[in-house]
Amino acid sequence: MPDVTPGPVGTATEPLKLAVILGSNREGRFGPVVSDWFLSRTAARADFTTDLIDLAETDLPSALSFSPGPRARAELAKVTSRLAAADAFVVLTPEYNHSFPAVIKSLIDWHFYEWQAKPVGFVSYGGISGGLRAVEQLRQVFAELHAVTVRDTVSFHRAGERFDDQGRPEDPVGCDTAARTMLDQLAWWALALRDAKSVRPYAA
Ligand SMILES: Cc1cc2nc3c(=O)[nH]c(=O)nc-3n(C[C@H](O)[C@H](O)[C@H](O)COP(=O)(O)O)c2cc1C
């Protein structure tokens, strides 16, 4: 039997659709080590189904447009419907120069309604800051998009030293606890907002 535990919302309701956005497309990136571990945590829960959106697999133009051409439409086709389908998001972000990567901002700015009235959690990593400055900036951006960011963050400072050669965290218990705390908060908001939107549309 797989180690699948029901989340706090139980199994009576349809699982929440969680889009996990891997926000580094840098050559030689560390991000997949973090996302592989995090996906193992979401897989152990019954209250979410998870879709990994790896921004290294998209190439959205840096120039925004209200009438995108064929190239932009092809790139948007890879992600937009998946964002729209999600009940909740987790953004995995490294920290670059005290902020988050441009590729995350590009994904955010190419979309609008897809973020609205949905919760967003964060897994961050980096050097000394553990990506927390990137997260605080993302909170401001998501507020503008009528999204709700959850309080607790999973954060890895000096991330390269926090995982072994097989990608296992060196403090699995602490990391699992941090992930559970964040995902529990995300599930609460996602369920509350999904229920509310089923009664009345969000008034943006
Ligand atoms: C351009 C650049 C800027 C960075 N700036 C910071 C920083 O301001 N603070 C920090 O803690 N780490 C910083 N780092 C370290 C990264 O957060 C760390 O290398 C992380 O693993 C990068 O994620 P990635 O490998 O998935 O792209 C920076 C790395 C790069 C490449």
Say yes or no to pLDDT of 8 above 60: no
Distance of CA 149 to the CA centre of its chain: 11
3-state SS, residue 178: helix
Query: Domain total for the chain?
Result: 1
Say yes or no to pLDDT of 11 above 80: no
Question: Measured from the CB, is residue 95 less than 6 Å from ligand 1?
Answer: yes
Across the chain, what does the average pLDDT equal?
94
CA-to-CA distance for 187 and 121, rounded, in angstroms? 10
Is 4 among the domain residues? Answer: no
Show the domain range for 140.
16-199
Is 9 among the domain residues? Answer: no
Is 204 among the domain residues? Answer: no
Q: Ligand 1 centre from 136 Cα, in Å?
A: 16
pLDDT digits (tens, 9 = 90+) for 166-194: 999 999 999 999 999 999 999 999 999 99
CA-to-CA distance for 176 and 173, rounded, in angstroms? 5
For residues 29, 34, 39 and 42, what is the CA-based torsion angle, rounded to 10 degrees? Answer: -150
CA-to-CA distance for 179 and 187, rounded, in angstroms? 12
**Rounded to whole angstroms, what are the CA distances from 2 to 40, 45, 63, 130, 196?**
11, 10, 45, 31, 33
pTM of the model: 0.94
Q: Whose CA is closest to atom 12 on ligand 1?
A: 127
pLDDT digits (tens, 9 = 90+) for 87-146: 999 999 999 999 999 999 999 999 999 999 999 999 999 999 999 999 999 999 999 999
3-state SS, residue 89: strand
Is 88 among the domain residues? Answer: yes
* Burial bucket for residue 27 (CB in 10 Å: 0-12, 13-18, 19+): exposed
Query: What is the phi-psi region of residue 128: left when phi exceeds 0, alpha when psi lies from -120 to 50, beta otherwise?
Result: alpha
Is 170 among the domain residues? Answer: yes
Is 148 among the domain residues? Answer: yes
Closest CA to 121 of 39, 184, 195, 28: 184
Phi, psi of 99 (to 5 degrees): -145, -170
**Confidence band, pLDDT 50/70/90 cuts, at residue 13:** confident
Task: Give me the mean pLDDT over the 42-63 stretch.
Answer: 97
Q: What is the CATH number of the domain that holds 171?
A: 3.40.50.360
Q: What percent of the chain is predicted at pLDDT more than 90?
A: 93
Angle at 11 between CA 172 and CA 186, to 5 degrees: 55
Q: Whose CA is closest to atom 22 on ligand 1?
A: 94
CA-to-CA distance for 61 and 71, rounded, in angstroms? 8
Q: Ligand 1 centre from 94 Cα, in Å?
A: 6
- Please tell me the predicted confidence (pLDDT) of residue 12: 53
